């Protein structure tokens, strides 16, 4: 079975991790010019958020 996790990084993007490998970095600050993907804009705007991890059940 494929293991999918979403890791909300501290002050950064949501990482979609599939079987232990980062599949995509998704914008979580709303400032990315390449939404839904992260382009690093969170660092420029001073985005702050706690780290969290979620496991997707399927």
Cis peptide before 38 (omega within 30 of 0): no
Domains parsed from the chain with CATH numbers: 4-56 (3.40.5.90)
Query: Per-residue pLDDT tens for 1-58?
Result: 899 999 999 999 999 999 999 999 999 999 999 999 999 999 999 999 999 998 888 6
> What pLDDT score does 58 carry?
66
Which residues does 4 contact at the CB level (< 8 Å), separation at least 6?
A: 16, 17, 18, 55, 56, 58
Tokens (6 digits) for 16:
């979609």
Tokens 């890791």, residue located: 7
Straight-line distance from the first to the last Cα atom of the chain, in angstroms, rounded to the nearest whole number: 9
Q: What is the pTM of this model?
A: 0.89
């Amino acid at each position: 079975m494929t293991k999918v996790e979403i890791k909300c990084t501290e002050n950064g993007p949501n990482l979609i991790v599939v079987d232990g490998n980062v599949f995509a970095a998704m914008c979580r600050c709303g400032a990315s010019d390449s939404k839904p993907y992260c382009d690093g804009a969170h660092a420029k705007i001073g985005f702050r958020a706690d780290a969290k991890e979620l496991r997707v059940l399927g």
